[in-house]
């Protein structure tokens, strides 16, 4: 059970899923850059990810910071900021899609 980041055909498994670690942190554990420019302070809006539809109930609800950075349509489509989004519990399987750059 872990967080798997999908970019195109590539799948990168973080190997863990921890409630106290945001999804940006999970990516950083495997040295995967997802675009953070503000150090995870919710200011840059660059660490955009999309949670797979079947896994959206497994993560924390959008924060006020995300509501300010992302449109309602983006949030409705599962887009989140990695630094603001946490697994709801340890040991979950989560699939997270990254923009292809």
Closest CA to 4 of 99, 96, 101, 100: 96
Q: Which stretch binds ligand FES (CB under 6 A): 6-14, 32-40, 50-58, 87-95?
A: 32-40
Among 44, 50, 75, 92, binds ligand FES (CB under 6 A): 44
Instruction: Report the residue from 7, 46, 58, 95 that binds ligand FES according to the rule CB under 6 A.
Output: 46
Task: Tell me which DSSP letter residue 66 carries.
Answer: H
Percentages (nearest 5) of helix, strand, coil residues in the chain: 25, 20, 50
Q: Are 62 and 39 in contact (CB under 8 A)?
A: no
Binding to ligand FES by residue 32, rule CB under 6 A?
A: no
Given the rule CB under 6 A, which residues bind ligand FES?
24, 36-38, 40, 42-47, 81-83
């Amino acid at each position: 059970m872990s967080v798997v980041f999908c970019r195109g055909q590539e799948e990168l498994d973080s190997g863990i899923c921890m409630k106290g670690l945001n999804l940006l942190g999970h990516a950083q554990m495997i040295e995967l850059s997802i675009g953070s420019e503000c150090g995870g302070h919710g200011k840059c809006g660059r660490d955009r990810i999309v949670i797979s539809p079947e896994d959206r109930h497994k993560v924390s609800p959008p924060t006020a910071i995300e509501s300010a950075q992302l449109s309602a349509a983006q949030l409705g489509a599962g887009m989140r900021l990695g630094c603001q989004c946490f697994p709801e519990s340890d040991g979950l399987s989560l699939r997270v899609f990254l923009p292809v750059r």
